Every structure is written in structure tokens, then in C-alpha cells.
């Protein structure tokens, strides 16, 4: 598995990392459901995750993204919900989708086969900021526009508990288009084509403590492409005593990030995480980095014990 992660990292490192349509998160290792429906329910219980990210702080109109996801496992079936809102300048996006996965045993691990369906809403505001008079360009809306369309995705996710995971997925399969004219007969229109996105993820837990999991190194990767541009995140976390973790992440030609987090011992299953990106591209000269917070809670689905009653004919 370690060889697979390293090989995949070198494969995608040759591509140029440029902007894509989907919002990005640095703490992607805690956010599998939003990019792979096959991972729904893979934890075996109920999980909920909240992420909020402020990218390129210091820029007016910078990307600001909020995400909530939840999933649960019922026998061999997983279900999930993802809702996220992203704002970049005059553009706002709202995506909501439901996921279903079927899990089957395969070798020492489990394979999740998942589908998702949902909706995408795009809107452009009228507060466009430019040096020149943007009203002279008829292609730029000078009034609000908004449109909504359907969405769908597919994913495969294989994992061995406390050992490794690997997944592949394709999102925005319909490649739908959103179109709308400006409100009140204003100039410009919304014309947005959603590109299909492909994701590959992999991670490995390397227990340095001979089975006690006191010290665990967790390398992982996330590769994503829309066939026009490709982006690669390479991550490495070190977890101590199942309590705290810290690490680094490198997004090719974009940023180096530091990550830290804690599992709350008073409430098992609850964890908090934070990451800070140091921009390595030309934008780094004009921004103070990107800040991201994460809250995640997981709990097992405990079945009530079956009540058994025994009656003896000797005691009526």
C-alpha cells in the first residue's frame, strides 16, 4: 500500500496544478464522503462532519466554503448526506446530495460501491469589482442571476479497518449546464457548464508501536482532475496515543499546510482539527494564507440486547 501511495504521488506530480470547479479542503482525509459516495457508512456507525474554510485571507472576494456531511451504516448499506456552500467573488454555489453505498467483504477488507444524486445551484451577484467599467461588457451580469440543475456521481471505496483505504470516484457525471438571464432585463446572463471531476484517494496507517497504536504515522494522497487540470495533495499525519495528531500537507504548486487536531477523551468519537495553508504560488505575495477548521463526531450504532425469557414447567 505504501508503494501504491508513492507511485500515485509521482504519477500526478507531473501535472500542472490549476484551479478547478470543485471547492478544496486541506483536511481531506477527514472528508471522504463529499468526494466518494462509496465511503458512505464505512466507519460502521454514524458520523457527522463540519468544515469551514477561508482561502487566501487578505483578498476581497476570496473563496469561503462551508460543508456539512453525515453518513450512517445499516447492515451492508450505507447512506449519506452532503451539503456545502461556496462563495467566490460574485459567484455563489450551493450543492446538496444524497449518497447510497453497498458494502461487501473482499479479502481482508470491505468494498463500498456507491451512488449519489443531488442538485447544484449557481448564482451571480451584481457587486462585480473591476478597474474598468464592467457595465460596458454585456457578458458580465449587472443584476442577479441564478439557476439550478441536477447532479450525480459514482464511487468505489475499499478499506481495511485501522490499516488502509483506497478509493476512486467520478462526480458531476451529467455535466449539466446552468443558464439564466439577469433579473429585471439587465445585461449579461449566467451560462455555466459543470465539468466531470475524477478523484483518487489512498491512505495507510503505519503503527510504529507494534500493535498498541501509541504512535501511528498516517500518509495519504488525494488526486483530482477535471481532464483540463489536475491537482495533487500529499499528506502525512502523526497520531499519538489516539489523542492528538499533527502533520503537514503539500498541494502541488499551490500551498504547504500544517495540520493539528485532538480527540476529546471525555466524549469518545468527537474530534477537532485545524489547518493553515502557506501559499507557495504567486498569490502568496498578496494573501496571508488559508485557514480551515474541522469538527467531526462518530458513534457506533448500538443494537439493544435481545430479551430472552425462559419458562420452566416446574414453576408455573
CATH of the domain at 154: 2.40.160.40
Predicted TM-score of the model (pTM): 0.83
pLDDT of residue 18: 40
Phi, psi of 10 (to 5 degrees): -70, -35
Asked, for residue 57, whether it belongs to a domain, the answer is yes
Three-class DSSP labels, 266-278: CCCCEEEEEEEEE
Three-class DSSP labels, 89-129: CCEEEEEEEEEEEEEEEECCEEEEEEEEEEEEEEEECCCCC
Q: Give the CA count within 13 Å in the CB-facing half-sphere of 241.
A: 4
pLDDT of residue 134: 62
pLDDT in tens, the chain (316 residues): 444 333 443 333 333 334 456 888 999 999 999 999 999 999 989 999 999 998 877 777 678 899 999 999 999 999 999 999 988 877 888 999 999 999 999 999 999 999 999 999 988 776 766 666 666 666 666 667 788 889 999 999 999 998 999 999 999 999 888 777 655 555 556 677 888 999 999 999 999 988 888 999 999 999 999 888 889 999 999 999 999 999 999 998 888 999 999 999 889 899 999 999 988 876 766 777 899 999 999 998 765 555 555 555 555 5
pLDDT of residue 186: 54
Number of Cβ atoms within 10 Å of the Cβ of 173: 16
Asked, for residue 116, whether it belongs to a domain, the answer is yes
Rounded to whole angstroms, the Cα distance separating 103 from 106 reads 9
pLDDT of residue 253: 81
DSSP string, 14-73: TS-----SS---S-GGG--TTT-GGGTTTTSSEEEEEEEEE-STTSTT--EEEEEEEEEE
Asked, for residue 307, whether it belongs to a domain, the answer is no
pLDDT of residue 17: 37
Asked, for residue 67, whether it belongs to a domain, the answer is yes
Phi, psi of 266 (to 5 degrees): -70, -20
Q: Residue 256: which domain range?
A: 2-299
Asked, for residue 158, whether it belongs to a domain, the answer is yes
Domain tally, the chain = 1
Asked, for residue 45, whether it belongs to a domain, the answer is yes
Structural element, H or E, at residue 82:
strand 77-88
First to last CA, the chain: 63
Give CA angle at 151 (72, 87), nearest 5°.
Answer: 90
Q: Give the CA count within 13 Å in the CB-facing half-sphere of 103.
A: 22
Residue 283's SS3 state is helix
pLDDT of residue 241: 92
Asked, for residue 234, whether it belongs to a domain, the answer is yes
pLDDT of residue 280: 84
Asked, for residue 310, whether it belongs to a domain, the answer is no
Amino acid at each position: 500500500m505504501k508503494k501504491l501511495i508513492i507511485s500515485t504521488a509521482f504519477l500526478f506530480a507531473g501535472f500542472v496544478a490549476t484551479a478547478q470547479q470543485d471547492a478544496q479542503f486541506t483536511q481531506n482525509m477527514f472528508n471522504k464522503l463529499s468526494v466518494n459516495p462509496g465511503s458512505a457508512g464505512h466507519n460502521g456507525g454514524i458520523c457527522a462532519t463540519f468544515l469551514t474554510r477561508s482561502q487566501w485571507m487578505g483578498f476581497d472576494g476570496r473563496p469561503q466554503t462551508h460543508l456539512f456531511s453525515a453518513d450512517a451504516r445499516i447492515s451492508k448499506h450505507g447512506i449519506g448526506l452532503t451539503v456545502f456552500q461556496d462563495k467566490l467573488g460574485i459567484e455563489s454555489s450551493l450543492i446538496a446530495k444524497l449518497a447510497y453505498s453497498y458494502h461487501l467483504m473482499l479479502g481482508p477488507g470491505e468494498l463500498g460501491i456507491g451512488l449519489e444524486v443531488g442538485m447544484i445551484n449557481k448564482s451571480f451577484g451584481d457587486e462585480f469589482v473591476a478597474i474598468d467599467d464592467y457595465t460596458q461588457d454585456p457578458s458580465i451580469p449587472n443584476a442577479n442571476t441564478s439557476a439550478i440543475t441536477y447532479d450525480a456521481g459514482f464511487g468505489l471505496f475499499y478499506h481495511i479497518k485501522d490499516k488502509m483505504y483506497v478509493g476512486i470516484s467520478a462526480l458531476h457525471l451529467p455535466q449539466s449546464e446552468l443558464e439564466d438571464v439577469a433579473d429585471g432585463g439587465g445585461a449579461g446572463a449566467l451560462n455555466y457548464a459543470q465539468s466531470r471531476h475524477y478523484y483518487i484517494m489512498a491512505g495507510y496507517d503505519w503503527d510504529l508501536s507494534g500493535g498498541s497504536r501509541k504512535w501511528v504515522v498516517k500518509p495519504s494522497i488525494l488526486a483530482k482532475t477535471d481532464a483540463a487540470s489536475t491537482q495533487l495533495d500529499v499528506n502525512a499525519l502523526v497520531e499519538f496515543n489516539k489523542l492528538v495528531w499533527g502533520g503537514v500537507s503539500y498541494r502541488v504548486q499551490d500551498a504547504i499546510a500544517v495540520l493539528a487536531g485532538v480527540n476529546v477523551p471525555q466524549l469518545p468519537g468527537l474530534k477537532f482539527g485545524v489547518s493553515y495553508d502557506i501559499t507557495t504560488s504567486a498569490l502568496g505575495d498578496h494573501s496571508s494564507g488559508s485557514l480551515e477548521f474541522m469538527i467531526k463526531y462518530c458513534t457506533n450504532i448500538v443494537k439493544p440486547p435481545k430479551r430472552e425469557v425462559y419458562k420452566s414447567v416446574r414453576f408455573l
